[in-house]
Amino acid sequence: KAGVTQTPRYLIKTRGQQVTLSCSPISGHRSVSWYQQTPGQGLQFLFEYFSETQRNKGNFPGRFSGRQFSNSRSEMNVSTLELGDSALYLCASSPQGVTDTQYFGPGTRLTVL
Amino acid sequence: AQSVTQPDIHITVSEGASLELRCNYSYGATPYLFWYVQSPGQGLQLLLKYFSGDTLVQGIKGFEAEFKRSQSSFNLRKPSVHWSDAAEYFCAVGVPGPYKYIFGTGTRLKVLA
């Protein structure tokens, strides 16, 4: 099976802009989770989608949002970008949810200038 | 509140030496426990996981971990480290209600030739 893919791999944006990141899970996986990884805060859970519904959410402001499509592909959107949003955004998929083994994609490196 | 602690930020070992990476968690019950490895520029790869049963868990690449309920620990071990093991290692717990993953801050392993 193909692994989790994320596009784009690298992004450079300026403050105030918005950005959309995409994640394609492993075929058959219905759960997609998003994480933010920064040197200061480590890996932090953003949200999880399962069968097109947000099932769980971390402690991030409303500027961070996501959605999942019927084919389980997921997008994450960040509006009104701030410098502190610069991070590696990781997507993970699993068959049923976060207590399953999660398979991570390579991430999208977002730089906000 | 649930938390995961990896007390060692950096560890340096010589190739061929044994390795133990520490992980302690704070949670009222036994969570699902995971160890992941992240190589530079890569996503996370699952090394092993513990859900229940035998407290000594074997993983990939020669790693093992032991769950000790009394100490709320899930330490990762390897009897003989290879240079290719140099990476960052993350301990994670999966907790219900609603389900989420909590990661430790990571331990960066350096291997000396």
pLDDT tens sequence across B55-80: 999 999 999 999 999 999 999 999 99
List, in sequence order, every beta strand (DSSP E) within A64-104. Answer: 64-68, 74-78, 87-94, 103-104
pLDDT tens sequence across A41-87: 889 999 999 999 998 888 899 999 999 999 999 999 999 999 999 99
Contacting residues of B for A106, CB less than 8 Å apart: 41-43
Q: What residues contact A19, with CB distance under 8 A and at least 6 apart?
A: A11, A13, A77, A78, A81, A110
**Nearest CA to CA, how far is B64 from chain A (Å)?**
16
Question: What is the rounded average pLDDT of the residues A26-31?
Answer: 93
Mean pLDDT of chain A: 93
Is the predicted pLDDT of residue B97 greater than 90, yes or no?
no
> CA B113 to CA B103: how far, in whole Å?
30
List, in sequence order, every beta strand (DSSP E) within B1-113. Answer: 3-5, 10-14, 19-21, 24-26, 32-38, 44-50, 56-58, 64-68, 73-78, 87-95, 100-103, 107-112
- The beta-carbon neighbor of A56 closest among B44, B46, B98 is B98
Is the predicted pLDDT of residue A93 greater than 90, yes or no?
yes
A→B interface, C-beta within 8 Å: 4, 33, 35, 42-45, 48, 55-56, 58, 90, 92, 97-99, 101-107
Alpha helix stretches (DSSP H) within chain B: none
B8, HSE (Cβ side, Cα atoms, 13 Å): 18
